[in-house]
Every structure is written in structure tokens, then in C-alpha cells.
Structure 1
Amino acid sequence: MQPRSTRERVRAAVSQEGPVTARELAEGLDLTPAAVRRHLDVLAAEGVITEHEHDPAGHRGRGRPARAWVLSDAGHTTLPTAYDGMALEILDFLRETQGEQAVQEYAERRARTLAARHAERVSAAGEDPRDRAEALADALREDGFAATLREVPQAAGVQLCQGHCPVQHVAEEFPVLCDAEAEAFSELLGVHVQRLQTLPAGGHVCTTFVPVGTVIAPRDGTGPGDQTTETPTQSEERSR
């Protein structure tokens, strides 16, 4: 379902692209910066969005850098999150009666279901990890994850960003859901991904680093062949 108003479009764009400036939003939504700022002011007053320290150009001159915005904690709760309470009760019951291993097995099963649902679409994108990540982002966006892809050229990779998570509040109590999801991403993309931050752990967006050179063969045998590259952490350590 498409957003029904310009303000909802602005909020959805902040969720997907944040941290993002009014000018960037205006370009993406084909609106004037002034019109976008009016909606941002209302959303900020309602507590749906909040300012984020952001200086992508390494601003060192006079004046204040452009303001950038992300969804606030309250903003995330205004997005659709069905049956959070029931899901928590079910997983709590499972943990109490069957133990932590049962929760782990459920998380892995859920992740396998996600991977199976999108495997054909991701495989159709070809062997390049970047193309596969783009296909996965498209699929996750349709699932309600507000997913986007961002280039990280200095680290030879891309970031898969999820501005919204339908199970965010459940994953705050059961982070194993996030861990299993990351494993599913590795299987789908054919590379070892690295989770940098998550919404349940307090991040403003779930961010997963996807190297564009390290390729592994998924267990189903459908992935690309082996190569090597560096993670962001390895790149930083080598440059010291």
C-alpha cells in the first residue's frame, strides 16, 4: 500500500533513507525543499522524527551543517508492527517450557523461511554480490523492512540498511532473531555479512555490511565462487 499523503511519503522516506537532509528528501520525492521542511517540522513537533548529527561532506567552513533526520523511537512505533505482544508471549512461553534452544530453533526456522521466500529473486540477480544485495533490499522493502542499499567504497562493499523492522520490539527481547536473519542474508548473498547495528539494540537503522569481493558457496550450492576482501574493521586496522 502506498502512503496516502505527502507527509506519510516524507516519513516513509526518512525511515528508508535516514539520516537524510531536507534537500535530499526533496530530490527523491520530487518536492521543493521548502515543502519538505514544512512536513519535517510537523513530524519533529509530533516526535516522529529527530535530528541526527550528520556531516557527510566533512563540513569545516562557516555556518551550521545541514540538518539530517532519522525516525525517533516513537516514530518507529507508529509504523505497522502487528501482534508484537502476542509474539512476545508465545516466545516467552516457548523459552519457559522448552528452553533457549527451542527459541534458537524457531529463529533459525524463521530465517530459513525468509531465505527460501527470496532465494529465486536474489539468484536471478546474478553472481555479483552488489546486484544480489540490491535484489534482497527490494524484496525486504516489500516485506515492510524499509530497506535500502548504500555504497561504502572505502571498505569495498555496500551497506544493507533497514529503516524499519516489523519485529523490532520482539527482537529487543529475543536478539537471536537478528542473528539468524544475518545468517540468512549471508546464505542468500553468498558472502559473509557483518551486522554493524540494529534497531533493537538502539541503532537508528539496522545496518549490515555486505562485502562485494568475499564470496562463499551457500549450502544449497546456488551461490557464486570464492574470493576475498576486507571488512570495514579490517580495512581500518590495516590503514593504521
Structure 2
Amino acid sequence: MGASAADRLLYLLKTRGPQQAADAGAILGTTAEAARQQLTKLATSGLVESYSLSRGVGRPSQFWKLTPAGHNRFPDTHSTLTVQLLDTVRHAFGEGAIDRLIDMREQASREVYRQELDDAADLKERVARLAALRSREGYMAEYEELDDGSLLLIENHCPICAAATACQGFCRAELAVFELVLQAKVERIEHILKQARRCAYKVTPFGN
């Protein structure tokens, strides 16, 4: 397993969460031992770490997950500059100027998404198209259909995390945009800013 395999392992842990070496190896098409050796190297570099999880009888299972340094391999888009600009706008023009910036970004996103989703056949197709759009924007997005028939929009990465941390209005605006363009109820059930591994949104038809 070479350097590209290390990147694939990091991507796997980013998008799928903690994994056992055997499962990671199976997904990547290699042996459990080869995956374990690569994970150990990544741990030495401070990018991953292991922990034990008891599953009843027998020895605890070993899982691997990204460290904060590992998450930082998937960087926030121009994070330092973005936060500095937001602080400058806030100090120079007040909180109202920040709200206006968020409104303008919300309007721009809403128009782009509406154009792309306008002729979608149903809610599932709208969610699928939105996930594709968000992936192109760097959110590493995907969707799942749940057992109860609802849909789950998943964003494994937040390329504006620093900006959203400094100004959480960005997150509120995105939720409003999602509901509008999906024409459905959208509930955020996991949130990166609340220390979750990802952001996840449960999508259900209005009235359900």
C-alpha cells in the first residue's frame, strides 16, 4: 500500500466514520493486515488514532478514526482569510452588514439550486441533485433512503466551517435554502459545529 492508499484510507474514515482494519481493507480491496499497517503509519503521523469498543462477550474490537489533524487534511476553504474578512466587516460596519452578506449568499445559492432542481421528478431526485451540487462545492455530500421512507442528506465535510463557526447565521441560512429548494421539511440531526463527524439532514414531505 503506497501513499495513494493512505489518502484513500483517510477519505474512507472521513466519509464513513470509524472503521476496523478488516472492514477498511475489504472496502479498499486489500488485506486486514495491510490496512492495519497503513493505519499504524498514519497514527504515527498523528492523522488517525485507535480506540477499543466492547461488543459483549470476547475481546474488545479495535476501531480507527481521524484525529483533528486528520480532519484538517480536508481543509476549510481559505479559512483564515474568511474569518479575518468577517471580523473586519463586523467591526467596520456592524452585525447588520454580516446579516446582509449572509442574505446575499443565501439568495445566490437558492437561485442556483432552484435552477438545477426545478425539473426534478420527485423529492428523491431533488435530494440526489442537491447532494451532487453540494459535493461539487466541497461538502463531500451523499444521500440515503431510510427505512421509514424519509431521506437523509449527508455532508461529510464543511468547506466553510471556520466561517460558520465565526458566524452561525450561515448554517441557519443553509437550512432555510434546503427547505425551499427541496420543497420539504428539513431537520438537521447531526452538526459538525456541535462536534459531530458530519452534518446530516432528515428530509420528509411537508405534512408528514
What TM-score, normalized by structure 2, do the two folds share?
0.82
CA–CA distance in structure 2, aligned partners of residues 52 and 117 of structure 1: 43
Q: Deviations over 1:212-235 (max 9, x none)?
A: xx24xxxxxxxxxxxx22xxxxxx
Shift in alpha-carbon separation, 1:170–1:114, aligned structure 2, 3 A: same
Q: 2:137 aligns with which of 115, 134, 143?
A: 143
CA–CA distance in structure 2, aligned partners of residues 190 and 53 of structure 1: 43
Residue of structure 2 in register with 1:225 after alignment:
none
Shift in alpha-carbon separation, 1:170–1:158, aligned structure 2, 3 A: same
Q: 1:73 aligns with which of 48, 59, 68?
A: 68
Q: SS of the counterpart of 1:159? A: strand
**What pairs with 1:1-240 in structure 2 (closer than 5 Å)?**
5-51=4-50, 59-65=55-61, 67=63, 69=65, 71-128=66-123, 130-154=124-148, 156-211=149-204, 214-215=205-206, 228-229=207-208
8 A Cα contact 1:169 1:200, kept in partner: no
Percent sequence identity over matched residues?
22
**Alignment RMSD:** 2.7
CA–CA distance in structure 2, aligned partners of residues 117 and 37 of structure 1: 43
> Structure 1: which 5+ runs fail to align?
216-227, 230-240
Quote the offset at 1:193 in angstroms: 0.8
> Structure 2: which 5+ runs fail to align?
none
What TM-score, normalized by structure 1, do the two folds share?
0.72
Quote the offset at 1:5 in angstroms: 1.1
Q: SS of the counterpart of 1:81? A: coil
CA–CA distance in structure 2, aligned partners of residues 24 and 120 of structure 1: 40
Shift in alpha-carbon separation, 1:20–1:185, aligned structure 2, 3 A: farther
Shift in alpha-carbon separation, 1:63–1:201, aligned structure 2, 3 A: same
